[in-house]
Structure 1
Amino acid sequence: MFQVHSTAGAVGCLVAGLFMLGLWPTVWALVERRGRIPSHTFLDYGISYTLFTVAAAAALGQAGPSSADAPPFLDALRAADPRLAALAATGGAAVAAADVLLQYGVAFLGVAVGPPAFCAVSLLCSAVAAFFLDGRRNAPALLFPGVAAALAAIALGVCAHAATRAARLARAGAADAETGDAAEEGVSSSGGSPTAAAAAASPQPPMPHDPAAPSPAVSATAPPQPPPGGLRHRRHNPRGADGGAPAAAPAPKRAIEAADSPHAGAALLGFAIVVPGALLNSASYVLFVVAVKDALGVLPAGAPRLDVYTAAALYAMGFGLMALLVSCWAMYAPPLGTQRSSVSGWAGDWRGRALCVLSGALTSGGDMLQFMGGDAAGYAAALLVSAHPLVGMAVGALALRELRGAGWRAVTLVCAQAGAYAGSVALLAASAA
């Protein structure tokens, strides 16, 4: 069984896991904005996560030398205590439910706010529980200030979202005011009559002696004729018939239309979705640590404990089962006004599937690295990967332009949030020593 024996190697695993876990919410947000049904996204994600995690656990668990305390993966899986196996699988089921809540929460809050709030709430609960369950291996003088820094990041994220919403509402109000002023100017220039302004703006009918003009009877019933050259001419000449600028392509329809609302209700709904998901995520991590450390004392004296790779495989199996159930429920009873679907509809939907599989692979790799680092450096210190929203915030701001038009105040708050998370990461990593 492959094992990490040094603190430096453990911290390296955790930092690599941090970057991998920071990318998958951005991939989800990108797919949702392109209109893919969320239940299709989550089912692809759940299947790929399960397959990648079980394969990685089997490969790493079988690799390297084995001993009585570190048996090969297949032997450890056969000898696993059913009660500890059930705890690990329940942890996987809980994190699947947490991830589907995060999926909908990110649609309302964005990558720059949703994952930071989710991870900070989860970090608060998980760090305290893991500290006591793992034999107090981490320095409390560094661990708990790291948790406090994560809580500060929550508050800054909420303030950043409020500032962004206020800036966008102000900009929308200014645009409406400009539209109203332009309409008033059009009325005054046409002699003060709205009817006259409309008549001036409408196209004039052709003159009767114009040979190219169709008769009134024909023009009232005949369908519009294609331009010279037919549809082929239109395809090769995307500009208008008058040579003007081409019409702007319509924006893709979002899968969760309610998330486009700029009002406070959408933000409150997003936080109401994210916070329960964070609590479930914390519970899943605690269940995993309890299963690996036998914190409940269910094993008889001398019985081998559940190793990290066996626990990870069982965790992934529970995740896959819950992902299947939740996705099927969301297909036939879609929440938040999303599109209804079916298993056959999912099987034929290949749009964005590669990105969904990629998100499952990223999460699988990040979780495996977190488990391996936690086994070597302590599971409380392994929670430093909860700072992965730092990566998501940067990608969301640069690639998805989530802070466009947000104003200097919101940008300042997001930068302060990133600083608080960076401090949290440093303190949690130092507590491992």
Structure 2
Amino acid sequence: MYIVENKGGAIALILFAILCGGSFAPAMSFMERRGRLPQHIYLDYSIANFLVAVLIAFTFGQIGPGKVGMPNFFTQLSQDNWPSVLVAMAGGLALSLGNMICQYAWAFVGLSLVNIIVCCMIVDLGTTVNYFLDGRINRAEFLFPGVACFMVAVVLSSILHSSNAKDKKEKLSSLGVDFSANQISRDLEISKDSDAEGSNTAPNLAKPGTAEFLAQIEKRRSIKAAGTSTTRGLAVVLFAGLCFFVFSPAFNLATNDQWHLLKKGVPHLVVYTAFFYFYLSGFVIAVCVNIWLLYRPIASVPASTMEAYLRDWNGRHWALLSSLLCGFCNDFQFMGGQAAVFATADAVMASPLICTIWDIILFGEYRRSSRKTYFLLTSMLTLFVIAIGVLLASAGHRKTA
């Protein structure tokens, strides 16, 4: 079994997890903005996500002999460790539910803002819980200033969203178009063939940042959320954040058993075993919910069927790429957290820094905006860079043997 035992290796894994974590959401959103149904996207994503967990458990979890108190993956499957298994599965359920909610929240509020608010809730709540679960190994003089940076970033991101929404509304008003999906559908004509799900050819979009570009995106996407209440969108995001903040402390408890749920002499779950059960529960809930949503969709998404899903290969490779990135992000986060403690590993939640960059490159977000919006964007991203550095500086070292 491969175990990271030094702080330097753990920090390297956490940095790589930040890159992966900031890239998986844009890959998912990319196809939704091109008309692919969110139920189809998430079914692909959850199936591949579970396969990643199985692959990691069968490889990293089985490489070489086990250590004292840290048996290999197959050995742990037959041990009496169900209390920790159930905690890991609870964390997986919370993460999967949060991801499903976020898929719709991205359309209501925007990719970068959703990820910023959610990740900051994880850091502010989850990191504090992990700090005490880990016996205060982290250097508090660095950890909590890093958490404070995230909190300030949330405030800036909310102001940024308001400023960006105002910029968009002004751009669309120049076309005589209200910022609502119904008005956009009536006033703008886009080729029907380019909207059809299953088309691999993207229409010729206007220049990013222009009113025409914004209107075309809203006409084309599968979740029609333009013009919806900001309050409603933010409520959805906050609910997702509450789901998300649970998963890291739950994984921490599953692998370190701080509540002493296991019988005496039973080894703690190793990262790879906990990871397997974590994604198993997430896979089950995701498949059940999204099959139900095929026939009873929400947020004005068209209904579908299992047959239509199985035949829909448009953009499936993007969903698979997204699941690979997310799977490795979480695995590297947990591997790093086991060595450098989970409060430090929550620096992965600075992934919106990468996500926002992708948002600008792929979706033209914030382009041709006002000076105020550019200033807020720069300030927010700067705070994320500072937060990453400060949180990593707080790293402690957990003995693995």
| TM-score, normalised by the number of residues in structure 1 | 0.80
Which range moves more in the overlay, 37-46 or 286-295? Answer: 286-295
Residue 296 (structure 2) aligns with = 333
Q: Quote the offset at 1:400 in angstroms.
A: 1.1
Q: Among residues 316, 326, 338, which one is paired with 1:363 in the alignment?
A: 326
Q: Among residues 246, 254, 257, which one is paired with 2:221 in the alignment?
A: 254
The superposition leaves residues 227-256 of structure 1 with CA deviations (integer Å, 9 ceiling, x where unpaired) of xxxxxxxxxxxxxxxxxxxxx9x7662101
Q: Quote the offset at 1:152 in angstroms.
A: 0.8
Residue 121 (structure 1) aligns with = 121
Write the letter of the residue equivalent to 1:152: V
Residue 349 (structure 1) aligns with = 312
Q: Among residues 239, 249, 271, which one is paired with 1:276 in the alignment?
A: 239
Aligned-residue sequence identity (percent) comes to 28
**Residue 157 of structure 1 pairs with residue 154 of structure 2:** no
Residue 340 (structure 2) aligns with = 377
Residue 358 (structure 2) aligns with = 395
- In the alignment, the residues of structure 1 paired with residue 221 and residue 263 of structure 2 have an alpha-carbon distance, to the nearest angstrom, of 54
Q: Which runs of 5+ in 2 are unaligned?
A: 178-212, 397-401
Rg comparison, structure with higher value: 1
- In the alignment, the residues of structure 2 paired with residue 418 and residue 99 of structure 1 have an alpha-carbon distance, to the nearest angstrom, of 23
Q: Per the alignment, in what secondary structure is the counterpart of residue 113 of structure 1? A: helix
The superposition leaves residues 346-368 of structure 1 with CA deviations (integer Å, 9 ceiling, x where unpaired) of 11111111100110010001011
The superposition leaves residues 74-109 of structure 1 with CA deviations (integer Å, 9 ceiling, x where unpaired) of 002221511111111111111100001111111122
Tell me, yes or no, if the aligned pair for 1:118 and 1:275 is still in contact at 8 Å. yes
Map residues 183-332 of structure 1 onto 2, 5 A cutoff. Answer: 253-258=220-225, 260-261=226-227, 265-332=228-295
| TM-score, normalised by the number of residues in structure 2 | 0.86
- In the alignment, the residues of structure 2 paired with residue 136 and residue 58 of structure 1 have an alpha-carbon distance, to the nearest angstrom, of 33
- In the alignment, the residues of structure 2 paired with residue 125 and residue 57 of structure 1 have an alpha-carbon distance, to the nearest angstrom, of 29
Write the letter of the residue equivalent to 1:351: N
- In the alignment, the residues of structure 1 paired with residue 7 and residue 365 of structure 2 have an alpha-carbon distance, to the nearest angstrom, of 37
The superposition leaves residues 188-239 of structure 1 with CA deviations (integer Å, 9 ceiling, x where unpaired) of xxxxxxxxxxxxxxxxxxxxxxxxxxxxxxxxxxxxxxxxxxxxxxxxxxxx
Write the letter of the residue equivalent to 2:280: M
- In the alignment, the residues of structure 2 paired with residue 314 and residue 268 of structure 1 have an alpha-carbon distance, to the nearest angstrom, of 35
Tell me, yes or no, if the aligned pair for 2:97 and 2:240 is still in contact at 8 Å. yes
The superposition leaves residues 390-428 of structure 1 with CA deviations (integer Å, 9 ceiling, x where unpaired) of 001011112210112321211211111111111111111
- In the alignment, the residues of structure 1 paired with residue 20 and residue 6 of structure 2 have an alpha-carbon distance, to the nearest angstrom, of 21
- In the alignment, the residues of structure 2 paired with residue 91 and residue 318 of structure 1 have an alpha-carbon distance, to the nearest angstrom, of 9
Map residues 7-86 of structure 1 onto 2, 5 A cutoff. Answer: 7-86=7-86
- In the alignment, the residues of structure 1 paired with residue 169 and residue 378 of structure 2 have an alpha-carbon distance, to the nearest angstrom, of 22
The superposition leaves residues 121-170 of structure 1 with CA deviations (integer Å, 9 ceiling, x where unpaired) of 12111001101111111011111111111111111111111001112222
Which range moves more in the overlay, 14-23 or 407-416? Answer: 407-416
Q: Quote the offset at 1:268 in angstroms.
A: 2.5
Q: Quote the offset at 1:377 in angstroms.
A: 0.3
